[in-house]
Amino acid sequence: MQGVFFLTAITSIAAVALICIFLFYNGVPAIAEIGFFDFVGGQQWAPTNQPPSYGIFCMIVGSIYVTAGAIIIGVPIGILTAVFLARFCPAPLYKIIKPATELLAGIPSIVYGFFGLMVVVPFIRDTFGGNGSSLLAASVVLGIMILPTIIGVSESAIRAVPEPYYEGSLALGATRERSVFRVMLPASKSGILAGVVLGIGRAIGETMAVILIAGNQVQIPTSLTEGVRTLTANIVLEMGYSTGLHRQALIATGVVLFVFILLITLSMQAIKSRSEKNG
């Protein structure tokens, strides 16, 4: 029986290993051929030109911008929602809001994309000008998409803070709000940070919704209403017709994405072990 457990346990390890091998085996030679700095730092992405150029710097910046935008929108809303759910929400209301946030997590990303395309993009076009498909649109939609992650993780982090802290603060004459924001929230900061990092991971890897609403121009946007192309979008948009070095360069884009996710996971681990040490 133990053998079965062991087998199931190594399945995930095997999957990670296989993905790594596939990515690096196909991606690294391309990076070597293009040249590491030309690939990562180059601002020209023109795989069909003669001679072609394969610089993904704009897409790296695009992914970072879009993720940062999502964080700016999603984190404050998410944390405040978590605070409300964990500390202030009356039970009947909780029964509505909590499942709603969970439902938000279950909506397929293509549906978010449609929502962005039909609602957010036209709104931005009418309000701020431009064609609407933009960094701002992607940030807003991604900000909503990461909400359930941030709310869920932050809420349980806040709930995990011992109640005596709260009582101790009230007993000193602090209001409920002050007690929550000055004692309970700081006490749960590593858990909340973990939620934010998970949200970053989700935002940077998101593809479908972003493609529909980000415009996908290869450029470094100089304003919120300009379009961007993310790493993920780059891969999906061109994978279908690419061949040869172009195809390999797209896989190498995946390698870069993988490294980002790896860094995020590592910082996640660091936060965890730090909070275990302090807690």
Partner 1 sequence: MDKFTIKNMNLYYGKFHALKDVNLSMQENKITAFIGPSGCGKSTLLKSLNRMNDLVEGCKITGDIRLDNEDIYGNMDVNILRKRVGMVFQKANPFPMSVYDNIAYGPRTHGIRKKSELDEIVESSLRDAAIWDELKDRLKKSALGLSGGQQQRLCIARALAVKPEVLLMDEATSALDPISTGKIEELCLKLKDQYTIIMVTHNMQQALRIADYTAFFLLGEMIEYDKTDQIFSNPKEKKTEEYITGRFG
Binding positions for partner 1, rule: CB under 8 A: 162, 164-165, 167-175, 178, 182-183, 186-187, 278
Contact of 52 with 245, CB cutoff 8 Å: yes
Shortest Cβ 184–partner 1 spacing (Å): 10
**Cβ–Cβ contacts within 10 Å for residue 1, how many?**
5
Residue 60 vs 193, nearer CB to partner 1? 193
Shortest Cβ 181–partner 1 spacing (Å): 12
Shortest Cβ 194–partner 1 spacing (Å): 17
Residue 64 vs 187, nearer CB to partner 1? 187
Distances (CA, A) of 51 to 48, 80, 218: 8, 52, 18
Under 8 Å CB-to-CB from 248, ≥6 apart: which residues? 26, 27, 29, 30, 33
Contact of 139 with 124, CB cutoff 8 Å: no
Residue 223 vs 273, nearer CB to partner 1? 273
Contact of 202 with 145, CB cutoff 8 Å: yes
Side chain identity at 117, as an amino acid letter? L
Residue 68 vs 187, nearer CB to partner 1? 187
Which helix H or strand E contains 105, and what residues bound it?
Answer: helix 91-106
Shortest Cβ 178–partner 1 spacing (Å): 6
Residue 185 vs 212, nearer CB to partner 1? 185
Shortest Cβ 161–partner 1 spacing (Å): 8
